[in-house]
C-alpha cells in the first residue's frame, strides 16, 4: 500500500496509486479531489434508475390492489401471491418453464459442442461459414420466431411443403395449434437462436487450449476419442459452464419466441412463467407483478450461480 516508503512526495498523495500501478498525481482543480465519482456516477445513476428501482417498484406492486385503469386501491397484503399460487394453470406453467429451460439448454450445449469442434477445424471457406452461423444471433429473436411461424403455416408454410414432399407427413398440419407439437417447434427455435452464441463461446474456449497438449497426447498414442474425453472436454469446462449459465438465463427469459408463435395459447398451455406473467398483466397487474417477483427470484439464483462459475473476481483487481 502507499504507506510503505513512498519514493516521492507526489506519489504518496496519489489516489489509487496503491495496486502497484503508478498513477502520477496532478492536483488539477476540483474534479480530481472528487475521486472516482465524476467518472462512474453516471453509470451508477442510470443503473439505479432503470435496473434497481424497477425491482423495488415490482415488489411494491405485488403487494397492492391496482385497478385495470392503473389506480392504486390500497394494500393487498399477500393476497396477490395467494391468488397466483391458486391459479389452475400455475403448476402447469412452472413445470413447463423448467422443462423448456432444461431441454433447450441441454440440447443447445450438446449440439454446440459438435458445432464448435467442427468449426474449429481448418477447411476452405471457414470464415464465411462461421459468418453464416451468426445470423440467428444477430437477427432479432422475435423476427426469427415470426419467420418460423410463417414457415409452419398450415396453408402455405414451406416446412409443411417440405415435410410432405419428403413423405414424412401426408397432409399439412397446424403445428402451432396444439401444445403437443407447438412445444417441440418452439424449443427448436429456441435452440436455433441459442446455438451461435454458445458455439462461439466454446470456440473461444477451444482456442485457449494449447496445441502442445494435443501434441503430447499424440505422442502418448491417444486416439481421437480418448483425446476429446481426456483433454478437450476437461479443458473446455470453464467456457462450457459459462455457456450453460448464460443460456439458462437467456432461455428462461426468452419471451419473444413463445409470444410470437403461440402467445402461450391455447389458454396457457404453451406458456412459460414469463409469458404467463404477461398474460396476467392484461387482467391484474399486481398479480402479474407477483409472478414477476417469482421470476426475478429465479433469475437471482441463476445470477448467483453465474458469479460462482465466471471467476469474475479472479482478475487482477
164-223: contacts with other proteins (CB under 8 A) = 192, 195-197, 200-201, 204-205, 208
Q: Which of 316, 305, 312 is nearest to 105 (CA)?
A: 305
**Shortest distance in whole angstroms from residue 82 CB to other proteins:** 18
* 5, 7, 27, 28: which one binds other proteins (CB under 8 A): 28
Residue 253: closest CA among 311, 317, 308, 302: 302
Which residues from 93-112 bind other proteins, rule CB under 8 A? Answer: none
Q: Name the nearest CA neighbour of 1 among 173, 9, 15, 10.
A: 15
The distance of closest approach from Cβ of residue 28 to other proteins in the complex, given in angstroms and rounded to an integer, is: 6
Measured between alpha carbons, how far is 183 from 176 in angstroms, rounded to an integer? Answer: 8
List the one residue out of 287, 67, 89, 107 whose CA is nearest residue 198: 107
DSSP labels for 171-190? S---GGGSHHHHHHHHHHHH
DSSP assignment, residue 73? E
For other proteins, which is the closer residue by CB, 113 or 239? Answer: 239
**# residues contacting other proteins (CB under 8 A):** 113
Nearer to other proteins, 179 or 256 (CB): 256
- Using the rule CB under 8 A, which residue among 3, 68, 138, 219 binds other proteins? 138
Site string for other proteins, 43-82 (x = CB under 8 A): xx-xx-xxx-xxxxxxxxx--------x------------
Distance in angstroms (rounded) separating the CA atoms of residues 10 and 213: 49
Q: Which of 126, 218, 237, 308 binds other proteins (CB under 8 A)?
A: 126
Judged by CB under 8 A, the stretch of 3-11, 33-41, 178-186, 213-221 that binds other proteins is 33-41
Residue from 79, 94, 147, 174 touching other proteins (CB under 8 A): that is 147
Q: Which of 260, 271, 276, 284 binds other proteins (CB under 8 A)?
A: 260
d(CA 302, CA 306): 6
Of residues 261 through 280, those in contact with other proteins by CB under 8 A are: 274, 277
Could you tell me which stretch among 79-87, 100-108, 177-185, 297-305 binds other proteins (CB under 8 A)?
A: 297-305
Min dist CB 94 to other proteins, Å, is 15
Beta-bridge partner residues of 66 = 72
The verdict on 242 binding other proteins (CB under 8 A) reads yes
Helical H segments across the chain, by residue range: 9-13, 29-33, 37-47, 53-61, 79-86, 90-120, 126-133, 135-138, 141-151, 158-165, 179-207, 211-219, 224-227, 233-252, 255-261, 273-283, 285-310
Amino acid at each position: 500500500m502507499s504507506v510503505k516508503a513512498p519514493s516521492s512526495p507526489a506519489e504518496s498523495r496519489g489516489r489509487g496509486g496503491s495496486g502497484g500501478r503508478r498513477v502520477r498525481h496532478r492536483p488539477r482543480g476540483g474534479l480530481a479531489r472528487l475521486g472516482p465519482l465524476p467518472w462512474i456516477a453516471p453509470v451508477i445513476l442510470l443503473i439505479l434508475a432503470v435496473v434497481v428501482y424497477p425491482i423495488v417498484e415490482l415488489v411494491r406492486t405485488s403487494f397492492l390492489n391496482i385497478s385495470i385503469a392503473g389506480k392504486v386501491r390500497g394494500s393487498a397484503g399477500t393476497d396477490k401471491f395467494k391468488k397466483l399460487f391458486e391459479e389452475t394453470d400455475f403448476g402447469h406453467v412452472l413445470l413447463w418453464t423448467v422443462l423448456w429451460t432444461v431441454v433447450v439448454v441441454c440440447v443447445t450445449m450438446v449440439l454446440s459442442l459438435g458445432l464448435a469442434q467442427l468449426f474449429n477445424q481448418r477447411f476452405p471457406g471457414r470464415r464465411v461459414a462461421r459468418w453464416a452461423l451468426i445470423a440467428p444471433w444477430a437477427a432479432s429473436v422475435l423476427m426469427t420466431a415470426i419467420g418460423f411461424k410463417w414457415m409452419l403455416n398450415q396453408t402455405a408454410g414451406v416446412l409443411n411443403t417440405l415435410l410432405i414432399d419428403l413423405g414424412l407427413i401426408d397432409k399439412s398440419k397446424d403445428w402451432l395449434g396444439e401444445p403437443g407439437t407447438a412445444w417441440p417447434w418452439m424449443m427448436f427455435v429456441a435452440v436455433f437462436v441459442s446455438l451461435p452464441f454458445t458455439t462461439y463461446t466454446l470456440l473461444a474456449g477451444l482456442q485457449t487450449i494449447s496445441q502442445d497438449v494435443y501434441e503430447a497426447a499424440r505422442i502418448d498414442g491417444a486416439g481421437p476419442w480418448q483425446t476429446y474425453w481426456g483433454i478437450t472436454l476437461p479443458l473446455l469446462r470453464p467456457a462450457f459452464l459459462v455457456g450453460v449459465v448464460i443460456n439458462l438465463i437467456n432461455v428462461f427469459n426468452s419471451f419473444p419466441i413463445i409470444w410470437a408463435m403461440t402467445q402461450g395459447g391455447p389458454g396457457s398451455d404453451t406458456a412459460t412463467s414469463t409469458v404467463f406473467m404477461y398474460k396476467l398483466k392484461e387482467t391484474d397487474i399486481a398479480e402479474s407483478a407477483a409472478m414477476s417477483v417469482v421470476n426475478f427470484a429465479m433469475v437471482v439464483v441463476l445470477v448467483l450461480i453465474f458469479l460462482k462459475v465466471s471467476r469474475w473476481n479472479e482478475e487482477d483487481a
